[in-house]
Amino acid sequence: MPSAPTPRPLIRRVARSTLALCAGAMVLLGLGFAWFISRVPTAEAAFKPGSDADAIVVLTGGASRVTDAFELLASGRGKRLLISGANRATSPHEISRLNPDFERWVRCCVDFDRSLNTLGNAIETRRWVQVHGFRSLIVVTSNYHMPRALAEIANQLPGVALVPFPVVTDRQRAEPWWAHAAMARLMLTEYAKFLFAKLRIAFNASAVRAS
């Protein structure tokens, strides 16, 4: 015998519930994006007395990041610098050639790792910090990347104080992110990566507690 047709009221209830769930998810994502944007620094840090750290880590990939990190090192904001995610072709000699003013610090106080992504940056930073026994760290990266970088590094180094130093380009200072499609896409993409990182961190923490 053929099965009885599904009652229309049930179909309507399922459809309404599905639409409500989708609408709720969109609202939550929108609120989350607004929160994320509020966490993206719009200006570089103004260091005050007492805001120095034991060391500095710069996550490569954006304009001016490495130069800003060297300037922090040269001004005594930290005792040692890790350039995390350096290209395999990058060497102390090449850094000194491109930045002759910082050659003395390259010789004495700079280390490199070759990590390929933000999670790798955080893992290599943890190893470097543990080797040297640092308890505080200035984190240098682009402003839009800072929330995810801090989340990953804080997860790897829960006992280390992190001081963000966001790098903000002149264009970002002059114009809002929504004024250009490319910057808007970058923010949305970074938000998605940030959500994925936070979910992965929460899942791993739950798995550890359950084991």
**pLDDT by residue (tens digit) across 77-105?**
999 999 998 877 677 777 777 777 788 88
User: Pick from 79, 75, 70, 142: which is nearest to 99 by CA?
Assistant: 70
CA angle 37, 43, 48 (to 5 degrees): 125
Which residues are registered as beta bridge partners of 82? 57, 111
Distance CA 148, CA 19 (A): 31
Mean pLDDT of the chain: 84
Q: Supply the pLDDT for residue 131.
A: 95
**Would you call 32 helix, strand, or coil by DSSP?**
helix
Distance CA 151, CA 139 (A): 11
Q: Supply the pLDDT for residue 50.
A: 58
Q: Supply the pLDDT for residue 145.
A: 93
Longest dimension (CA), the chain: 88
Domain chopping of the chain, boundaries: 55-171
Segments of the chain with pLDDT less than 70: 1-7, 45-51, 62-63, 89, 170-174
As a CATH number, domain 55-171 is 3.40.50.620
Please state, in angstroms and as integers, the Cα–Cα distance from residue 180 to each residue in 20, 47, 124, 174, 191, following that order.
32, 30, 34, 12, 17
Q: Supply the pLDDT for residue 178.
A: 76
